[in-house]
Amino acid sequence: MNFSTYFNPELSQHFTEDMVIRNLTAKTQIDYVRALNRLCEYLKHSPEDATREKLREFQLFLVEDGATGTTINCILSGLRFLYNVTLDKPQLLTKLITVSVARKLPIILSLEEIKLFLATAAHPKYHAAFSVAYGAGLRVSEVVSLKVSDIDSERMVLRVEQGKGSRDRYAMLSPALLDHLRHWWLFANKHGQMHREGWLFPGLNPINHMTSRQLARVCTTTAKDAGINKKVSMHTLRHSFATHLLEAHVDIRVIQVLLGHAKLGTTALYAQVATNLLREVISPLDALENKDKTKDKDKS
């Protein structure tokens, strides 16, 4: 990780060690370093010498510079780690305020759109990867990190190691998904693209797995080639998995486990986009009018 030149080597080392001690993920560590580098670019000196007022001005600068609420909160997380943990100066954070972020409803593909999307993914590798994202509800980082040994065809589960929150879990492996994965396995072995004990979705160099960015890029291109006008991402496939299960009347607590959500409230969001469920609900207005019609019919 590259720290700003305003970070002295000792501070950089301590900050890195503090993140390692707390077992922060590689992505979180990178985000924190980027956040502090941005602070240094603004201050033009070491963050050790910052004041509460300067940190407040920095947050104001981020807002005026057009940073999103999500970006600002990510930067604030990095600053809190530096001043709470590494520098032990929590008093400098009193004027920093977490920004409320509007929660948008996820984009969902219909069953017909999913079918079209998968059919457009001609290469067996991408077809299988997209099938895992939709058929098991995995995050893109979880898809690309799968190993061949993670497929348990006897118990019909996929082992997901160190998913979000550094938690291991099992995901569902349906017969249809297993067929897609077997097709990809046969193709990859025939063309020397996969090691028997290696990654399920290897990159150009089979020693490394395919990157999340590469798969996300192919996902966007595939949706465009399929003529789907919605903004489709890898997470769209995961959202669609959860929504379609909910519409099929699968218990929401089961869906929570399959998705690896820590809180049921996160899973409950899909109830707002499960349109089939909404159509099944009888409005009290309809119930009232139906009752009146029944009365009129009885009178006649």
Q: List, by residue number, the catalytic residues.
A: 139, 164, 235, 238, 261, 270
Burial 187-198 (b: 16+ CB within 10 A, else e): bbeeeebbeeeb
What separation, in Å, do the N-terminal and C-terminal C-alpha atoms of the chain show?
Answer: 82
Buried b (16+ CB within 10 A) or exposed e, 148-170: bebbeeeeebbbbeebeeeeebb
Tokens of 290: 């139906």
- Which residues fall within 8 angstroms of residue 91, CB to CB, at 6 or more apart? 52
Gap between the Cα atoms of 41 and 52, Å rounded: 17
> For residue 231, what are the β-bridge partners?
none
**Measured torsion, CA atoms of residues 164, 168, 174, 180, in degrees rounded to the nearest 10:** 70
**Residue 194 · residue 148 · CB < 8 Å:** yes
Q: What is the rounded CA–CA span in Å between residue 125 and residue 265?
A: 34
